Amino acid sequence: MNTQQAVELIAGAITTAAWVCIPLLLGGFVIGIVVSLVQILTSIQDPAVSTVPRLAAFLVLLLVSAGWMTTRLVEYTTRLFSQIPQLAR
Q: What pLDDT, in 10s, does the model give residues 14-40?
A: 999 999 999 999 999 999 999 989 988
SS (H, E, C) the chain: CCHHHHHHHHHHHHHHHHHHHHHHHHHHHHHHHHHHHHHHHHCCCCHHHHHHHHHHHHHHHHHHHHHHHHHHHHHHHHHHHHCHHHHCC
- This model's pTM is above 0.95: no
User: Which of 44-48, 74-78, 82-86 is the least confident region?
Assistant: 44-48
